[in-house]
Structure formats: structure tokens, C-alpha cells
Amino acid sequence: MGIKSTRLPSLARGHAPGQARGSHGALGSSPLCPWWHRCSGGLYLLGAFRSRRPNEPPLDKGVIPWLGYLLDFRKNSSEFLKKMRRKHGDIFTVLIGGHYFTFVMDPFSFGAIMKESRSKLDFRSFASKLVLQVFGYKPIQASQSTMHALSMKHLTGDGLSLLTKATMGNLQKLMFSKLSSGEEKRPWQEDNLFHYCYNIVFRAGYLASVRHGANERDLVNSNQLFNEFRKYDHLFPCLAYAMLPPKDKLEAERLKRFFWSTLSVRRSCQKDNVSGWITDQDQFLVENGVPEYMRDRFRFMLLWASQGNTGPTCLLAPPLPHEASRRHEGCEGRGREGLEGEQATSTVLRQGDRVALFPHLSVQMDPEIYPEPHKFKYDRFINPDGTKKDFYKDWETLVDGEEEIPAIDVSRWGFGTMQPIRDVRFRYRRRF
């Protein structure tokens, strides 16, 4: 896939389209000229004059200038992309909120795009704008390599062992805090499964990464933090696409200020046993002249990056038997080899457009490859003669499920681990 660098035409030069000369002189000298130039410039900025060039993907600007398909994309991004795919094919460019997005849903093209040089496809520029928009943080120039080195220091080796120990301790505190112990009767507790898992894992990871040795007050405060985080996480996809309605924009700004204050450098200085992962990164920002308010925002970004996917990921599918897993790995490798052997068609992308690789509607969602792709099947990749799966207790299932597995929330496609559209109730109690 080629990337073509082009310069956009300037309407300020030459005569405007349709301009005529007559005995009264050029149109440029008439009072209408400034109005015409302003009108033309406005239409140009709205994308009214853009047209498809040779070898470019199909272009669809919608019927509303500048907005394009913003409302359709906000309403249901999954159905919108399916509709565009049926209309234009696997690669197409659409106008969404003043930006042109080229969606690539052809898996044969992913490799060509990923191999392009950063001079043609620059993710850092987009990432800098994104973190400023969703977290209020403006990255400094030479921070990436140093931040990576600090993360390697504290998230591997001895640093990882210390973090793991703190996380395990927090998990025990959180899981057993509401459960009775001893010889007295142990009543059943009831909760939502996804909420429970997300809550416990988020709080344990947050407390371990922020400080070592959480006390009872920290456990209570972390629960409030989780509740506010879930509200913000719910708004995150539309916030990233700049598609929030006015009411949600106000809520997003309120939540940002809450996290900036709660995670602030000033507050952490009042606590003991602050994690070295946090203090080392903050020291690096101080040495590079980053103001305190921006360091507060960096910590908010760090929280979302470290915990946004951790909680949802803890809900794992039933484990595959070892031999069946190895057979599946072999099948996956052969499928990948077949994909790499194909040649992608040549497509030219315009400079300044945003490229979105969208695998969620690609191979794994094709019913001709995987029957019923939207239905959860624990044995989808196990042959009929595969090893018997492990059951929960004494090789017998405890009870038939009373609820169907909920569907995924497709509005979060492209933003980490998928989440269910609804929760499932469950009961639990302490055994010992």
C-alpha cells in the first residue's frame, strides 16, 4: 500500500470558479469578492471541494458539510461500518466531524500498512492529540524512551516481584473484606459478575502501583475511585472521537478534574510508601520542566493505561486442554501463513488523513470461516476427539447456567478489551 504526499490546492490564488470579466472590470474588484472568498474558504474547510483521486479509496463525505457521518457513527459505529463496507468494500474514506478517516478492514492490507515508515504513517502525532483530548496531558518531546526504561525497571525483575506481592496482598484484603470468617455462619453474598471482577482487580492493581501497603482507608477511597473511573471509561470511546453531546462533555470535564485532584502530586506527597514506579516517572518529568498541573494529568493517563484493560481481561474463557491448545496454535499458524502469501492491492492514501485498522469485522467475523462468529463457544477450536475439558468440582458441572452469555459492547471496538452489554448476577461466600 503506497502513501502519496500531496499538497492541497489553495483557493486564494487565481480566480474563483465561475469568475468572469466584463466591461465593468474583474469580479475581484466588486464588493462581492470578499464575501465570495470567505464563502469559498469556509466550504473548503468543511470539505465541500474534496474529491476522490486516482487509486485512492472510495470517498464518502455524507450530506452534511464538516459533520459528515458523525451522527451515524456516534449512534452505532458497528452498523455504520458494516453499511459502508457493503457499499464501498474493505477500504474506504469517510468524513467524520471534520476529519477524514480511512478504515481498513481487509486483513491482507494490514501488513503493508504496519511496515510503512513513520515519515508516512505517524502514530505519535495522533497519539499526542488524543491524550491531550481525553486526559488533558501534553506529552514532552523526548519522554517515550525514558518512560519505557522506567517501566522496564519497575515492571520486570525485582520490581515486578515487589509489585506482584503487593497486588496479591491487596486482592486478599479486598476479596475477604466483606466475607465472614471463623466458625460463625457464612452468608451468601450477591453481586454482578463483571462489576465484581473489574472492581477487585482494578483496586488491587491501582493500590499496588500507587503505593505499597494499603490501609483500610485506602480500600474505601479506591472504591470511590473505581466508581468514577467506570463513568469516565463509559464516555471514553465517544470522547476519543470527539462525539460527546453537551451534557456528557460537562460530565467528562467534571471527571477529569476529579482524577487530576485525586491523583495529584500534592496529595501523593502526603502519603507513605509511594510506589517507585510513580516517583521515578514524576522525577523525570520534573527534570524536564513539566509543571505540576501537567504531572497530575500524566498520572491520570497512567491510571487509565495501566488499569483500563486489566479488570475486563480477568474474565477469561474456560481453559483449553493442553493438546487441543497446541492443535489450535498450529491451525492459527497455517492460517497466518496463507494470509501472508497473498498480495494486497495497491491503494494511495492522502496526506493528513487518519488511518484506522479495523480487524473486528474482518476474518474472525466472517461466517464462512467461523460459523456463528458472534456466538460464544468454549470448544470452538477443539476437535470432536479432543481431551475432555476440566469441570468445576469433582469432574462434574455444578449447575446449568440460568442466564445466557451477554453480547459484547461493540461501541468500544478499538479501545482495548471488549466488555459485555449487561452484567450477570452471581452468589459467592467464603469456604474456609
Q: What is the pLDDT of residues 213-266, one digit of tens each?
A: 677 888 889 999 999 999 999 999 889 888 899 999 999 999 999 999 999 999
Say if CB 137 and CB 131 are below 8 A apart: yes
Q: Out of 176-180, 325-329, 347-351, 403-407, pick the least confident.
A: 325-329
Least confident among 18-22, 208-212, 387-391, 398-402: 18-22
DSSP 298: H
Which band of pLDDT confidence, cut at 50, 70 and 90, is reported for residue 339? very low
Q: Give pLDDT tens digits for 127-165.
A: 888 999 999 999 887 667 777 888 888 888 888 888 889
Q: What pLDDT was estimated at residue 312?
A: 74
| The pLDDT of residue 202 is above 50 | yes
Residue-level pLDDT at 429: 84
309 appears as a binding residue in the annotation:
yes
Mean pLDDT of the chain: 77
Q: What is the pLDDT of residue 229?
A: 97
Strand 99-104 relative to strand 91-96, pairing: antiparallel
Distances in Å between the alpha carbon of 145 and those of 129, 138, 287?
19, 16, 15
Task: List, in order, residues 6 or more apart from 158 with CB less than 8 Å away.
Answer: none
* pLDDT, tens digit, 9 for 90 and up, residues 301-338: 999 988 988 777 665 433 433 343 333 333 333 333 33
Any known ligand binding at 223?
Answer: no
Q: What is residue 216's predicted lDDT score, i.e. its pLDDT?
A: 80
Domain boundaries, the chain: 144-313
